[in-house]
């Protein structure tokens, strides 16, 4: 990814290290671990955002959607057609 690298010392389960060494070429191991960490951090951030925003949408704030989003969008499209045809 072209970024600066730093060496870090982590303790990992022995079976995980053994499998990494068995499956991944020596020169690719840091890359594989970095990518796995990057994916997990992204997942944790998304999970946090979902937990923080859960419940932010209130039905009372959007009475126009009471009949459902499909009906609302259909109504919007229908009103848009009338103005475009003219």
Among 19-23, 59-63, 72-76, 79-83, where is mean pLDDT lowest? Answer: 79-83
Mean pLDDT computed over every residue of the chain: 89
Q: What is the pTM of this model?
A: 0.64
CB 33 within 8 A of CB 20: yes
For 18-57, the pLDDT digits (tens) are 999 999 999 999 999 999 999 999 999 999 999 999 888 8
Task: Say if CB 20 and CB 32 are below 8 A apart.
Answer: yes
């Amino acid at each position: 990814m072209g970024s600066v690298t730093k060496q870090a010392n982590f303790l990992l389960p022995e079976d995980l290290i053994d499998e990494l060494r068995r499956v991944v070429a020596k020169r690719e191991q840091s890359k594989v671990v970095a990518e796995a960490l990057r994916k997990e951090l992204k997942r944790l951030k998304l999970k946090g955002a979902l937990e923080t925003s859960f419940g932010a949408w209130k039905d009372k704030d959007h009475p126009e959607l009471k009949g459902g989003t499909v009906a609302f969008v259909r109504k919007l499209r229908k009103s848009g057609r009338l103005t475009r045809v003219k």
